[in-house]
Structure formats: structure tokens, C-alpha cells
Structure 1
Amino acid sequence: MKKTNYSYIGIALVILVFGIYFIPKIIDRIVNDDVVRNEGGTKITKDDAPKKLSDLAFIEINDAPKKVPAFSFTNQDGKTITDKDYEGKVYVIEFFFTTCPTICPRMNANLIQIQNAFKEFENFGVASFTINPENDTPEVLKTYANKYGVTNPNWNLMTGNQTEIYKLANEGFNLYTAKNGTVEGGFEHSGNFALIDKNGYLRSRVVNGNPIIFYNGMISETEKTDEQGMTEEISALKEDIKKLLNE
């Protein structure tokens, strides 16, 4: 019985010494940010921790950050492009069509300006989806890309199943798209751009306490405002792309 008591005393002394020597060191590492915990509770070193997030908001749908839905379409070079091809990249999304006589030329001219501003960044791209795939074949998209000066290898102009494209626009991003034979060009669509971070999440800046969600793609930086007095958002989009590239 006495041996058992001595064993307990010995174990208690070991625990006491461990606590006196090691616990202050662990606390000191935590205080100095050398140790962080991920959501699973596993310790990782400071060097392994992700970079600090910017002040751009995560757009939430049903209380969850909105992520780009899975997609698979054909680009201007005849290659199959999926959402996986954009992993690790910051990119801008638009819906357009090559014969659009109104807002598309303005939108794509603005995207060319953005492309040129980030030409040194290999992890920046653009995803353009045609809403008139019947006309906009890979060959037509290639001609359109050359006409506007698309040089970024991560800028894919994509075509494919019209139903899937419309679902991606209207349900995946809430960027309105529809056929309408009564309007010029025969189609209606949003003139806004969506901004996606390296992990595939929809992001935007916050203005007056609320995320703007999308960026107006129709007004150029030089124009400043349109006829209705709306202010251009291309300069803001450029600033926010840079923030995401630095995350």
C-alpha cells in the first residue's frame, strides 16, 4: 500500500515540474502568436497560417459564403474549362454575347483595361460566358477575343449548353440573363461583374455597412459617371482585385 502511495506522489511531482517548466513557455508562444489553432483544433505554426484576409466581404446566401458552382464549358481555343481551372486564382466573371450591340462592347473594353493592369499576375483571370452559344462557337469567340485584345491566358471566353449557362447566371450568381426578341440584340443580361477570390468565393467591398455584391461593368474610369448619374466602379474593382491577390 505504501509503495502505491509513493508512486502517486512521484507522478504528482512529475506533473508539477512539467507544469512549472513547460506551461509558461506554451502560454508565451500563444501570446506571441507563434501558435494558432485551426477549426479542427490542430496546432499549426505561425508560418503555416493563412495570410490575413482583406476587408472585402464574403457574400452570403442562406447564411453561408457563396461559392462558384461547378461548371464545365468550352473556351475560345476548343479546350474544356471548369471551375477547377480557376482554383488559386482571383478572377472576374461576366455574361455577354459577341453580337451584343449595346453594353457588351463597353464591358469588355473595361475588362481589357483590367487585364492590362494585372498583366504581371499569373494568378489573375477572367471568365466570360456567352449567353448566345448557338452563334458563339469557339471559332467566333476566338475572333472576338483577338478583336478586343485578350492576351491573358487565364481569360476564357466560354460556350456550351444554353440551359446550363442560363442556370449558372440566374441561379448561380443572380446575374440576370434571358432571351428577349423585343430588345436590341435579342437578349437581356446584367452589366455587372462578379469578383471571385482564390478559393472560389464571391467577394465584394462594403459601402455604408453593406456589401455592394457586384461591380458595375458598363461605365469606364474615364467617364466617371453615366447619364443617370451612376458612378464608375472599375477603379474600385481594380483596388479590390489587388486586395484579393494579396490574401
Structure 2
Amino acid sequence: MISFREIIIAVALFAWILLLTGFLTRKLYDLMIRRGLEHGVAVYYNRKIIHVFAGGLVAFIAPFYFETPLIPLIFAAILAVMTYIPHKTGKLLYWFQVPDNAYEVHFCIMWGVGLTTGWLLTGNAWFGALPVIFMSVGDAVTGFLRNAMFKRRTKSWWGNLAMALTTIPIGAAILGIPGAIAASICSFIEHYEFGVIDDNITVPSTALLLLLALTHIFNL
């Protein structure tokens, strides 16, 4: 049963995400442009900031404050719709959205689906949270580094190395050896995209499958 406490926490987190995406990153975009950054560079930094401080933060919090993944799934679905509408109408939130793709919509969908699937299959919230942490925090680290190095959206093994150095300790701390192994493999997988199947899909999917398999191998 959904508790009133869960609803209050969810509303507070949702309000934070709206503040971050609708106001704070817009102001940050203006600041970056004034300081001479190109539009695409500023947008890409903002996308990764949202990854960490929306997706990553809530993924870390969810296992501690929610009894089931239902409410996070509902709010993730709402955010997916909210980020899709500007693409549909042509009125993009220019400070973090781009006309070339709707990967932020993929992010919202996979955040909710990944968290819910891992949680329900195992009964352990961290099996849902850790894959989306890899997607949120790990992918953001690659983006920050690549954006600083190349000033555009591209793939680089330096970014994947940075992701591994960030996510392997997180994975190990949360789910031990399976978490560390999953993090290392996902850091490799992130380098590749397959058409519309981007790393927001491949990373959490791969992480969940690996965690499910590895926990049986290590008898966790």
C-alpha cells in the first residue's frame, strides 16, 4: 500500500526535478553562453547535470524512502511525457533539449522501467536502482569529460574509463563483486549505440541482466 509519507517524498523530489530542469539549468545555460561556451556545449553539460542531480540523486534515495517502485514509476512516466511534448510541438526546452534526438525521453522511460523491473524481479530495490545509477551518474561522467575534451557529443574511451573509475566503486559498495563486474562491463557497453537504441537503453538493460546472472553465480 502506498503511504502518505511516500507521496510527500515523491512530490518533493518531483518539485526538485522541475526546479532543476525548468529554472536552474536554464540559468546555468545563460551563464555558460555569457562566458563564451557554444550552444551545443552548454546544452550537453546541462543534460549531464540533469542526469546526475535528477536521475542519479533520486535513484540513490528511492531504496531508502519507497516501499515499492510504483510511485517512482508513475512520476518517471509523467516526466517522459513532459519531455516528449516539446519534441512533438516543436517548442524545445532549448537549454537541455536538441532537435536531433529525444534521448532524454528514453532516459525517463528507462529510469522508471529499469528501477521497477529490477526491484520486482528480486524484491531488492538496489537491483533496480543500481542499473539506473550507472545510466545516470556513469553516463554523465563520460559526458562531462568528452564535452570538456571535444566540445561536442561524441564517444571516447577516455570517457568510458572515467565511467569505470566512478561506477565500479559504487557498484562494489552497493552489491559487491556483481555490482563491480556489472559496472565495468557497462562502462564498455556505453561506448556503443545502435541507431535509436542509445546508452540510456543499453546501459541499464545490460546492468540488470548482469546483476541477475552474477548474483546466482556468487550465491547472493
Give TM-score scaled by structure 1 length: 0.27
Give TM-score scaled by structure 2 length: 0.29
With a CA cutoff of 8 Å and minimum separation of 6, indicate the structure with the bigger relative contact order: 1
Higher helix proportion (structure 1 or 2): 2
The structure with more radius of gyration: 1
Higher strand proportion (structure 1 or 2): 1
